[in-house]
């Protein structure tokens, strides 16, 4: 979650032209041993794009996500510009496994219990950020949003590269990108690499929950229903 910006900053972000990459690639995931995956060379293509601070669209269990290096200003700027997204609206962090959550967010008994039950899965947890959390994703009140997508390709990318940004791969307030084709239609050549892996399992946004208090607070109900918390 980025720090809040002024209305002037937001207007400037929304008025910038969408950046274009020199060439756009679409990689296709294949089913192997019952799981979707990419070839080793394709994963190298993905990691090289992220190293160059370019953007990657990847499948998750909820929607297709827009990934960039969360530790560089240039990559974060590309995410906001490509989406035409106001700077005061949060971007979360995708990690490979539930244990990785505690590197970037402070553990409490409530948070540990929730994550043990629901992660990996279709929820974004809001926690107090640790010093290791990417500064550009930490809100003005010290919170960071973290996801552990339940998708083998997303997991493999986060293992190979490290944590990446996760936000829906669409224009601000655009249709939800439940397919790679929808993400391409909206973001086009502002993204260096798209990963085609078929329709996502849930086809809707993650549920956002604030775990910083004494009880679970639902900020946005999505794929994980309130009654299932």
Residue 162 counted as domain residue: yes
**For residue 5, is it within any domain?**
no
Q: Is residue 1 part of a domain?
A: no
**Is 179 within the bounds of a domain?**
yes
pLDDT digits (tens, 9 = 90+) for 209-225: 999 999 999 999 999 99
* Boundaries of domain holding 217: 22-228
Is it the case that residue 15 has pLDDT exceeding 70?
no
Name the nearest CA neighbour of 73 among 89, 87, 62, 94: 87
114-133 pLDDT, tens digit each? 999 999 999 999 999 999 99
Helix (H) or strand (E) holding 76: helix 73-83
Cβ burial, residue 77 (10 Å; 0-12/13-18/19+): middle
Helix axis angle for 40-51 and 152-161, nearest 10°, is 60
Joined together, the tokens standing for residue 163 give 């944590």
Please tell me the distance from the alpha carbon of residue 149 to that of residue 228, in angstroms, as a whole number. Answer: 18
> Is there a domain that residue 48 lies in?
yes
Domain membership of residue 166 (yes or no) is yes
Q: Residue 69 has what DSSP assignment?
A: -
pLDDT, mean of residues 183-207:
97
CATH of the domain at 98: 3.90.870.10
Domain count of the chain? 1
pTM to 2 decimals? 0.89
Whether 10 is in a domain gets the answer: no
Is 15 domain-assigned? Answer: no
* Residue whose C-alpha is closest to residue 145's, from 162, 123, 161: 123
């Amino acid at each position: 979650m980025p720090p809040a910006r002024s209305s002037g900053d937001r207007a400037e972000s929304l008025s910038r032209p969408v950046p274009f990459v020199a060439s756009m690639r679409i990689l296709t995931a294949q089913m192997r041993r019952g799981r979707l995956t990419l070839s080793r060379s394709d994963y190298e293509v993905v990691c090289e794009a992220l190293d160059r601070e370019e953007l990657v669209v990847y499948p998750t269990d909820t929607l297709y996500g827009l990934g960039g290096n969360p530790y560089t200003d240039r990559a974060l700027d590309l995410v906001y510009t490509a989406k035409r997204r106001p700077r005061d609206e949060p971007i979360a962090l995708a990690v490979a496994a539930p244990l990785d959550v505690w590197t970037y967010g402070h553990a409490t008994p409530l948070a540990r219990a929730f994550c043990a039950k629901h992660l990996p899965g279709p929820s974004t947890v809001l926690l107090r950020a640790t010093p290791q959390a990417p500064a550009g994703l930490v809100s003005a009140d010290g919170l960071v949003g973290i996801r552990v997508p339940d998708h083998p390709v997303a997991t493999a990318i986060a293992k190979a590269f490290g944590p990446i940004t996760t936000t829906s791969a669409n224009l601000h307030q655009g249709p939800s990108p439940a397919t790679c084709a929808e993400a391409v239609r909206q973001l086009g050549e502002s993204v260096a690499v798209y990963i085609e892996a078929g329709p996502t399992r849930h086809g809707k946004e993650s549920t956002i929950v604030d775990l910083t208090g004494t009880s679970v607070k639902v900020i946005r109900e999505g794929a994980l229903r309130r009654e299932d918390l």
